[in-house]
Structures are given as C-alpha cells and as structure tokens.
Chains A and B, each alone.
Chain A
Amino acid sequence: MTMPQPKILMFGWEFPPIYSGGLGIACRGLTRALTDIGADVTFVVPSHIVGAQSDWMQILRADESFFQSSIDFKVFPSLLTPYVTETSYLSQWLRSPEQRVYGQTLADEVLRYASYAGDIARHTEFDVIHAHDWLTYLAGLEAKRVSGKPLVVHVHSTEFDRTGGNGANEFVSAIERQGLQEADAVIAISEYTKNIIIQQYDINPDKIVVVHNGIEEQPHQSGGESDVLETLRQYKAQGKLLVLSLGRLTLQKGIDYFLRMAKRVSEYVPNAIFLVVGSGDMEHKLISQAAELGIADKVIFTGFFRGKQIEDAYKMADLFVVPSVSEPFGLTVLESMQHGTPVIVSKQSGVSEIAFNALKVDFWDTEEMANKAIAILKYGTLHGQLSDMSREETKHHSWERAAHKCLALFRKLTHL
C-alpha cells in the first residue's frame, strides 16, 4: 500500500536555462524528484513577464517531463530573482517597461509577493509549505498565517555567508531570522550551513534537518558545441594542461587563493594553463594579482560562461579547483565529477561533506592545494582513478535521496 504523499505548496525559482544558478538547479532537481516519487506540488514562482507570458512557461511546456507532471505552476509576475539586492532590484525596476506592476523597491516587491502568496494559499489545497531562501520567507509565512499549515524553510545560503559576516544587509538578515524562527522546520543543504544557522541566527539544532543537494542524472544537454570547446581543444593540442576554476569573482569564491596555487603549480608544471571562468567585482583585482605573481601569461580570464560553455569547460579541463572561502554547498563540484574531471575542493564547503572522490584542502593552504594539483596533473593513474570514481560516485548523489528526506520531514510535520 503506497503512503499518501503530502501536498506541497512550494515557493521556488525559475529553472535553468532562465536561471542557471544553484537555486534554479536545486529547485528543478528537487521538484522533479518529489513528483517522481508521487508528491503533488503547487509551484509558485516569480517570473519576469515579457509580453503576454513568461519565457519560462514556454520552456517548461516544451519539456515533456514537466509538461506531463503533476506540478501545478503558478507564475507571479515579478522582478524578483535569486540573490537580487536592493540596488540591483532598483536598477531592474528603473529599466522595466512594466514599472506600475512591480514594487518600487525590493522591500515593496517582497511584501507584494507575500500578499500574492496569501491569495494563493486561500485558494489552494495543500498540507505543507516549502519556501526556498529568504526572498520567499515572507510569502511562506503569509501562506502559513492564512492556512494554519506548517512551514518549512529551505536554506540554500544565508546573508551571513553571502557577505562573509561583513556588511550584512539588516533588512535581509531580519527576514531570514524571522523566517528561521517562525518556520516549523528548517532544511539546510549541508552541515556547514546548519552550523551557520545555529551560530549566527540562534536557531535550535533540533529544528534543522540537513538534506544535501543532489545532482541530476544526465547533465542537461543542450545540443552542439560551444565556441569554448574549440579554443580549449587548441590548448590541449599544444600539450597544455587545463586547470579550471568557475564561479562569481567575489571574495567568497577564493579565486585569489586559486591564483596563489597557480603560481606554485606553474613552477613544477610549466605547461599548465589556469582558467578563471566567471565575472564579478573582484575581476580587476585578480587580473592585477596574476600579473604581480608573474603568471599573467598562464592565467586566462574568460568572463562569464553559461550552459554548454560550462559543460565544455568541465569536459576539457584536466582538473577543477573550488577554493571557496565559504560555500553553503558547491554543486559545481558534483558537476565536474559527473564529467569525470577530478576536483580539489575547499573543506569550508557543504559538498566536501559528501564528495568522497574529490580531494579536500583548507582554502588558505595553497601549498597543499598546489601539492594535490601537481599530483593530479603528473600522476596519470591517480587522475584516471579519480576520474572514474568521481563519475561513479555522482550516481549515488541523486535528488531522489534528497526528496525522500524532505518528504519524511513533511510527513512528520503533517502527521500523514
């Protein structure tokens, strides 16, 4: 006899390719897995409407698996996007032709979303509310207020780790604190994140369940080859070894440590090239640093990659390094492993808790980072084994596993 699954009112985010960041990928993977194991999901999502409807709904309709699924999508016309800030929201709003629809400030928009959520909650049947990251917390809380159903907040990142504890936005932190305190349960995507929640937000550990992110079985294949593939092929043909880093060029991603490691590695592996993929406010500083370290000719700042370009970068790289200073999870590690590209990852990350065949190092220990990198580049057998075992391992990090854990929590809260 199959157990009746709780009906979930989920406040989520647009899936890739509209939004390719961790939050979109996690929502897609988790939602798909939840419905695969029989859960009913009403998926509320803010979406930037262009013309009569959003691009996203069109893409969804083209994706068979979602089109046929039991997910009820409710699109909220909004400028809210993951990780939007007060300033970035303002510039979005100023540029928008539909200004009168949206809130003038981020605070206004978040409250408008909460009001919409209340309406949805009044007209939808559900057993539990599931809200992803701070921008949805007020909406989740309003839905809880209206319906009396339990709220679970799913923490993918916190203002604390986004700002490194420096210059946290009071408005955001306040909403996070309220959401975490008033929710009936908290899901954290790693022990690392759970600890931040306990220490920085004073939440009772018993209230927090760790559900590590998974990775979808087939990397989402967009057809053809990107321009990146050919360029990287040329380098490989010249006998170069490619060491990849990928992520926003911000303090949290630790690319300055990547460069220090690169300097050390290039002393012993002269044919190594270091790719810095991504954009961000540290770009100029990092370019200067590369020059100061004397490796400007070995480091390539590629700018932002998306979709197929990222896949090709993983494919062509000999090694992927994630030197994050603070990383709530680090899905790129699993992505690289899925492509069979060995990974060195910072211990200060959530993914290092579950990735066995990735080599781990403290982000500041650039000597050891270099030591491990040189070994992977020089010892072919090690590279080969890491590659094979990484690929094999990602098969076990499924969203299904995560979905089961979420449902178990929901059942506990709803007594179903």
Chain B
Amino acid sequence: MPSICFYFQVHQPLRIKKYRFFDIGNDHEYFNDDSDTSLNNKRILERVARKSYLPANATLLHLLKTHPEFRCSFSLSGVFLEQIQKDFPEVLESFQQLVETGRVELLSETYYHSLSALYSPKEFVEQVHQHDALIKKLFGVKPKVFRNTELIYNNDIAAKVASMGFKGIITEGVDRILDWRSPNFLYRPQSVEGVKLLLKNYRLSDDIAFRFSEKTWKEHPLTAEKFVNWVNEHHGNGEVINLFMDYETFGEHQWEDTGIFQFLEALPRELLRHPDNDFVTPSEAIARYEARDVIDVPHTISWADEERDLSAWRSNAIQEEALKKVYSMEKKVLATKNRKIIRDWRRLQSSDHFYYMCTKFWSDGDVHKYFSPYESPYDAFIAFMNVLHDMEQRIEVCLAGLLQPKAMLLQETKI
C-alpha cells in the first residue's frame, strides 16, 4: 500500500459547425465542418491523436511490457470510438493493444458523454447499454466499473448504476463530501448495496494534469522522483491513491516539451522502488479493499472547475434552455424510429455543447479560461438552437410520413 489507481478519460465530441438560421430546413448535417477552425472534428482528432493519444499509448504499452506490476484504466466514449473507427484505425488499434495486455481496464459510461443521468433515466440506461455493447464489440470485455460524464455523481445516480449491476463507481473526491475524510480509501454510496466508490485524489491528480508545466508553481519542475516521495508520504495513511485525469494531459494539455512523457515513463520505475507500492485497476481495488464509510452526496458533484458541481454546464439561462429543449424532444424523437434522427439527437446531448455556452468565464478578467471552438458562448447557443429547430422539422416530417404508410418510404429516403 498504497496502490496507485490510474484512470484516464478519453473523449472527443462531435462539435456542431457554424449552423446558421438559413440552414434550417436545408442542411441536415450538423457535425461536418471542414474548415481550418476548431469546429473541424476530424482535424482536431488528427492533431490530438498525433500529439497525445498515439505517443501516450506507446509509452503505456512500453510500461506495461517493462513492468508486470503496471496497470491503469480508461473510459473511451462512444462518440470518440465512432470517430477513430471511421477515420483513425491506428488509434483504435493502439488502444486495443493496451487492453489485450489484460492489465488495462475499460470503464462504462454513456455512449454520448451526456447529462442524461440528470434528465432521462430511460435514456441514460439506453446510452450505457449502447456504450458497453460497442466496448464488447471492439475490445471483447464487459465493463464492471462505471464513471458518469465528467464524474457527475449524486446518490440517485449511484442507485441507478448499482441497479444496473456495476460493482464500482468513480467520482471526484470533493472536500465538501469527504469532510475530514481522506480520498485514499474506498467508500460506499448512501443507501446503496454492492457498490464501492473510488474518489479522485484531486491534489495529486491536478499536480500532474494542471500544475505540471506551470513555472510559477513552487514545486516546478515536477520529477517522477519528487512525485513518488509525495505518494510515499501516504504510507499507513491510505489504501489507494486515485489519479484520475483527462488523457489529453499527456501531449495536448501538457505539451511534449514540458517533459510530460518522460515523467510518465519514469513514474512506475520510481514508484516500484518502494516494495510496498503497487498499481491497481479500479476492479482490483474494489476486490482488495473494504469500503471504509458511507459517502452522502445529495447535491450533484463533478470534477469540473473549482466548484466541482454542475455549473460548467448549467449555470445560466441559455444553458438551461438548451438542455430543457433537447430533452423535451425525447418522446417524439424515439417515436420516429428513424436511426439517423435518433443518432443526431443523441449526439446533441454531449455535455460539451452546453459547456461551450458557459458564461462563468466570460468577463474581462477571466476570458482566458474560456476554452471553446466558438467565438462566444452566445455563438455556441445560436448554432445549437438552430440545429434543434432543424431537428424539429425533420421529426415532424418523419412523423407525418409515418402516419401515411404509402408516403413513409419516400420520407425515409428523403431524410
């Protein structure tokens, strides 16, 4: 002890192109921007694959071969997998190679990286099933541990996930839910049996994910040695150290020239110098350690921003409107039974769309914190709402066609 548990999030949304009011009724392709901007999904994925996924996977594969003790885990969103299946098979292969080692666990999540857990339990379940089916198809494994979009969690979500048969859930080790307790133990959700919680150690995780290259940070430069010393300080004081982060940390958020790959490369070697240290996957942690206490989370938490709540996606009027509207379409969308309409509607549920509409960091002092392919949160909202109007039209046309069997064939091909 302590056991290091690595979890890496891998996700790329399908970003909506600059969709104008004039496009409504005329253009049913929302995600096919082909410009030089950050709205071009293929272009973004190519860049991130080159700078991050491929070199990071290569590093991990090497580590897995060199250190039989090394383990880690991933969540790979369905939307991401779709894109690499189609355009970047070598990236898919590199993940498959990792999983084949048997020491890389894949977690479950909603296929579309959505907020459906907060809006439609039915849709949530459907998206999780869809996700796990794809994981089974591409990797031959069945996830046992669950992580919700952006680690969004509350007691109800825990209950839902438990009822679906998962053994564990990972989420953020927010101070206000832990109180005086340490994130370095396993916990139980409130009033839920058979599920253990792994809570992110945000201090140590963020040292790597955010502070690594900050020259003003007093611990800069962070070497593997220094980091391992901090880990070792937890001896006798924790069972797991949960290092959860966005996989893009390696190469995209922290560029190659910061030395982040060398850090990753050296970490297992330094860590394993101490005979009591080891690595675990989430499932191994769950099997090995007992839940120490109950964690009560009546108000939703997440791993986003300082607040670690829902404010990144739902803190202003335009976000609320957009979320309300997209989920209000559920009944009619499903009634069309049209694969493309349903798929587009689900793609519109990715949390990123609402994140781009956030105005938390939209004032003079903070604007450098606004990361979005749109010029402003308002532009993001405008594109989104215009798309929803086009969807409404498609739905009405489709439903009208379904009522008249003869016209149905015509409508389906039209759409």
Contact = CB atoms under 8 A, between A and B. Distances in A.
A357 B316 CA distance: 14
A360 interface: yes
A377 to B, nearest CB: 10
Contacts of B362: 356-357, 389
A371 B363 contact: no
B359 interface: yes
Given A371-B21, A371-B22, A385-B318, A379 B363 contact: no
A359 B363 contact: no
Interface in A335-385: 354, 356-357, 359-360, 367-368, 370-372, 374-375, 378-379, 381-382, 384-385
A73 interface: no
A283 interface: no
Interface string B373-415: 0011011011001100000000000000000000000000000
Contacts of A30: none
A381 B364 contact: no
Contacts of A385: 316-318, 359, 378
Contacts of A360: 375-376
Given A360-B375, A367-B22, A371-B21, A382 B363 contact: no
Interface string A158-186: 00000000000000000000000000000
A382 B381 contact: yes
A265 to B, nearest CB: 9
Contacts of A138: none
Contacts of B321: 379, 381
A134 to B, nearest CB: 31
Given A354-B364, A356-B363, A367-B20, A381 B317 contact: yes
Given A359-B376, A385-B318, A374 B364 contact: no
B22 A396 contact: no
A374 B21 CA distance: 7
Contacts of A393: 363
A379 B385 contact: yes
Interface centre among B317, B318, B320, B379 (most CB of A within 10 A): B317
Contact of B359 (A264, A268, A389): A389
Contacts of A359: 376, 378-379
Contacts of B381: 375, 379, 382
A382 B367 CA distance: 20
Interface in B315-370: 316-318, 320-321, 359, 362-364, 367
A387 B375 CA distance: 18
A188 interface: no
Interface string A399-414: 0000000000000000
A385 B378 CA distance: 9
Nearest to B20: A371
Interface centre among A354, A357, A386 (most CB of B within 10 A): A357
A368 B318 contact: no
B364 A375 contact: no
Mostly, the B contact residues are helix
B382 A396 contact: no
A374 B367 CA distance: 26
Given A359-B378, A360-B375, A371-B20, A384 B317 contact: yes
A386 B378 CA distance: 8
A356 B367 CA distance: 9
Given A359-B379, A367-B20, A384-B317, A375 B363 contact: no
Nearest to B24: A268
Interface in A267-289: 268
A203 to B, nearest CB: 27
Contacts of B320: 381
Contact of A375 (B21, B316, B367, B375): B21
A356 B386 CA distance: 22
A268 B21 contact: yes
B382 A372 contact: yes
Given A356-B363, A360-B375, A389-B359, A375 B318 contact: no
B363 to A, nearest CB: 6
B20 A381 contact: no
Given A356-B363, A356-B364, A359-B379, A381 B21 contact: no
A375 B317 contact: no
B71 to A, nearest CB: 46
A370 B317 CA distance: 23
A353 to B, nearest CB: 11
Nearest to A392: B363
Contacts of A384: 317
Contacts of B359: 385, 389
B318 A381 contact: yes
A135 B317 CA distance: 48
Contacts of B316: 385
Interface string B8-38: 0000000000001110000000000000000
Interface centre among A360, A370, A371, A386 (most CB of B within 10 A): A371
10 pairs of A and B residues whose beta carbons are closest in the complex: A381-B321, A371-B20, A375-B382, A374-B21, A385-B317, A381-B317, A371-B21, A385-B318, A381-B318, A379-B385
Given A378-B21, A382-B378, A385-B317, 15 more contacts: A354-B364, A356-B363, A356-B367, A356-B376, A357-B378, A359-B378, A360-B375, A368-B20, A370-B22, A371-B22, A371-B382, A379-B321, A379-B382, A381-B320, A393-B363
Interface of B: 20-22, 316-318, 320-321, 359, 362-364, 367, 375-376, 378-379, 381-382, 385-386
27 contacts: A354-B364, A356-B364, A356-B367, A356-B376, A357-B378, A359-B376, A359-B379, A360-B375, A367-B20, A367-B22, A370-B21, A370-B22, A371-B382, A372-B382, A374-B21, A375-B21, A375-B381, A375-B385, A379-B381, A381-B318, A381-B320, A382-B318, A382-B381, A384-B317, A385-B317, A386-B378, A393-B363
Interface of A: 264, 268, 354, 356-357, 359-360, 367-368, 370-372, 374-375, 378-379, 381-382, 384-386, 389, 393, 396
